[in-house]
Amino acid sequence: MILGIDAGIKGGFVILSKKDKSILLAKKTPLIPKTKTLDSKTIISYMQIVDDIILEEQFSIAQPEKRQNPKSDFTTAYNYGKLCALGEIVKPTFGIVHPNTWQSAYTFAPVGIRKTKKHHIALAKSLAGKQADMIVSDGVADAYLIARNSLQRLEILQKRNPLKEIFYNLFKRP
């Protein structure tokens, strides 16, 4: 199983089966009630049952032209750091993927161009087939597309080199 994570407050977590790419879990980002803080206990429970974890790289602090208010930047950075730490602790096969890497694999997003949330949801639902109703938000759609693309990339590399170490060459480490 592989866990794809769109790390935003309105992000999502999706676990896919490696055998048939079926959705085993699709949830919005788990938060502690009445806060914008990640629910670490729930996230760890997701991370512990999968083989691999792929987290979308976040840029809130690094992109001043898209800057939000400082508190929002802090929350994004704090939660992203928390996800990186949890991933490192829970799974040795934890990786980070740049948004352009997974988005460019789909026709809706040539490198450097981000289409609307509706495009992401529509694409994810079409790929999910009978499980389309599990794609409940843009964050879940992105997490699904991240997991699916990462799984496809892993499959290609495993055909070339079946050793587990290929994972470390495919994704950045925090």
What's the predicted TM-score (pTM) here? 0.81
CATH code at position 129: 3.30.420.10
So what's the pLDDT on residue 94? 82
Question: How far is residue 31's CA from residue 123's CA, in Å, rounded to a whole number?
Answer: 26
Range of the domain at 137: 2-170
- Segment 32-58 shows an average pLDDT of 91
So what's the pLDDT on residue 57? 86
Total domains in the chain come to: 1
Q: Report residue 131 CA to chain centroid gap.
A: 18
Q: Which segment of 76-85, 111-120, 131-140 scores lowest on mean pLDDT?
A: 111-120
- The closest of 145, 105, 108, 94 to 124, measured between CA atoms, is 145
User: Encoding tokens for residue 9?
Assistant: 């407050």
So what's the pLDDT on residue 102? 84
